[in-house]
A = this chain, B = another copy of it.
Amino acid sequence: MCGLGTVAQGVVNVLRDNRDAITQRAGREIQLTHVASRSLKPGVELGAAEFSTDVVALCKRNDLDVVVELIGGEDTALDLVRSALENHTSVVTGNKAIIALHGTELLTLARENGCYLGFEAAVAGAIPIVAALTRSLAGNQIDWLAGIINGTSNFILTAMTQEGRTFQDALEEAQRLGYAEADPAVDVEGIDAAHKLTILAALAFDMDFRFADVYTEGIAGITAEDIEYAGQLGYRIKHLGLARRTEAGVEARVHPTLVPKGQLMANIDGVMNAVLVHGNAAGPTLLCGAGAGDRPTASAVIADLVELARGTALLPLDACDSGIKMLSVEETHSAFYLRIPALDQPGVFAKVATMLSERDISIEAVIQREQAINTESAEAWVPIVILTHKVVERVMNTAIAQVQSLPEVVGKITRIRVDQLANG
């Protein structure tokens, strides 16, 4: 095992706590023989395992069945995994970044060297979504999937929704509780979710790993006002990863999304993760659980180890489709929530409605208040809140630009995509 951080310690502890059950299911004992960590973390009992600080040397040994890579980060971890696979040693990793960015290369390398590369732990912690896509739903064509796949963002949005906190306040609470890093950018800007969505899309659509083609938008722009208006319209705001196969190509995007309150996905709260997969045979299947944490992530690592131990791990598919067209976000279709800060004058809404209608954007619902909810800025303007029907995003962009240029529009228009999480 490379690394001895939180998750690695979880693996050590769970392997010890559940040894008998794991041995029975795996058909043999899973033995931790060598541990390498660049910085020694005391406080975890390694049993008979040999400890060193040389992670590079560990991955070059010839006497290991499998290397468990849990050092995190990108460059060194990538080198280690490459090195182990080139050395014909199978790898189990929880590193979403290297799989999202180099998955195609690493799986090819594994295949060429007759090795396995397990990464159940790289997506959504304990939730068995990699197994679901590669095994349990193997009889399906996957039409689309949607996931709450970043616990930090979900915790923040839940706190904003349930307790009326601001983004900044909720973020600080997440940091206090250890759910967010001191530098929260990777989580709240959606990068972490985009890594995971890249992996889910590759598995769902038998395609290569295309992180660069995933549209990514974080939650820092979401305000208490938007959460309030969304609630009035029957929606909750969730940070979703969405991947869909359409006739025109595959779309993959990560962004805040209005989800109907009645959907289970709208009720996945706090740091919980969930992935909803729609297969053309199974219909919708939702999996939810702990998306992070030492023991939940260890559960996923050990699942991969057990498959390896009993000889039932999956070799990487020997052909994935690298010719699939990925749609840019401008080519995708969404319904939209728009919040337009406009002067409180007669005829403004009519002008906006006309501009939308000229582009065949139909309006599903409108909220127009007497006064701005935000009392600090209770001047003579009102927010016009509009929920549209589905439209291609490029057209919506043009419409928003035109509305934004109206002299009566006094602030930046907020737009959030809406998804019913249903077919069609």
Hey, which bits of chain A sit against chain B, CB under 8 A?
10, 14-15, 17-18, 21-22, 24-26, 120, 125-128, 131-132, 134-141, 206, 264, 267-268, 279-290, 293, 295-296, 298-303, 305-307, 310, 312-314, 317, 319
Contacts and interface: CB of A to CB of B under 8 A. Distances in A.
A24 B316 CA distance: 11
B296 A289 contact: no
- Which of A21, A264, A281, A288 has the most CB atoms of chain B within a 10 A radius of its CB? A281
Contacts of A26: 138
Nearest to A293: B283
- Which of A127, A289, A302, A305 has the most CB atoms of chain B within a 10 A radius of its CB? A289
A305 B139 CA distance: 9
A15 to B, nearest CB: 8
21 contacts: A14-B140, A15-B139, A18-B140, A18-B280, A24-B317, A25-B206, A26-B138, A126-B279, A131-B131, A135-B312, A136-B303, A139-B303, A264-B288, A280-B295, A281-B299, A281-B302, A282-B289, A282-B295, A283-B290, A287-B287, A312-B312
Given A264-B267, A279-B299, A287 B285 contact: yes
- Which of A10, A25, A120, A305 has the most CB atoms of chain B within a 10 A radius of its CB? A25
Contacts of A137: 128, 299, 303
Contacts of A317: 24-25
Given A24-B319, A206-B21, A264-B264, A138 B303 contact: yes
A337 to B, nearest CB: 24
Given A138-B22, A139-B22, A141-B18, A296 B282 contact: yes
A189 B24 CA distance: 36
A136 B282 CA distance: 19
A279 B287 CA distance: 15
Contacts of A135: 128, 131, 135, 303, 306-307, 312
B25 A138 contact: yes
A141 to B, nearest CB: 5
B285 A128 contact: yes
Nearest to A294: B281
A388 B317 CA distance: 55
A25 B287 CA distance: 22
